Amino acid sequence: MPPLMYLLIALGGALGSVSRAWVSAASARHLGAHLPWGTIIINVLGSAVIGIVAATALSSSRSIFNTETRIFLMVGFCGGFTTFSSFSLQTFELLREGRATAALANVGLSVILCVLATAAGYMGTVALVSR
């Protein structure tokens, strides 16, 4: 991979990480800490972004992003922004605290909403760019 690609990944990752910290803090302030809402929201948004970018990469006629932009967004930004490792730790901590219902809600909401967000981003983008 050319050095420029690594730089794009690093820049995207930095922006994604800072965005993750901001969304996490804002979510905790506005939604409380009963569930890890920040992580859920981040994973849903990241899933939507990766679905949108992936949909545009299917063919050159639909692609609105060049290779460098796709790498920046999918590998860099989404890699720094989404928080599956945080999700796993938070779910484990809920279980360890004896909060099995909250842990199950965290898993269910995160998985279902992220898959739906990916599908919506993908299908919505395909519908828009194929007009």
Contact 58, 130 (CB under 8 A): no
Encoded amino acid at 43, one letter: N
What is the distance between the alpha carbons of residues 38 and 24, in angstroms, rounded to a whole number?
A: 4
Give the pLDDT band of residue 65 (cuts 50, 70, 90): confident
Average pLDDT over residues 3-8: 96
Alpha helices, DSSP H, located in 32-99: 37-56, 67-70, 78-81, 84-96
- Hey, how many other C-beta atoms are within 10 angstroms of the C-beta on 61? 7
108 pLDDT band, cuts 50/70/90, is: very high
Look at residue 131 in the predicted model and tell me its pLDDT. Answer: 78
Q: What is the pTM of this model?
A: 0.82
Domain count, the chain: 1
Q: Which tens digits make up the pLDDT trace of 13-58?
A: 999 999 999 999 999 999 998 899 999 999 999 999 998 888 887 6
| Selection from 52, 44, 43, 42 nearest residue 73 by Cα | 52
Owning domain of residue 120: 3-129
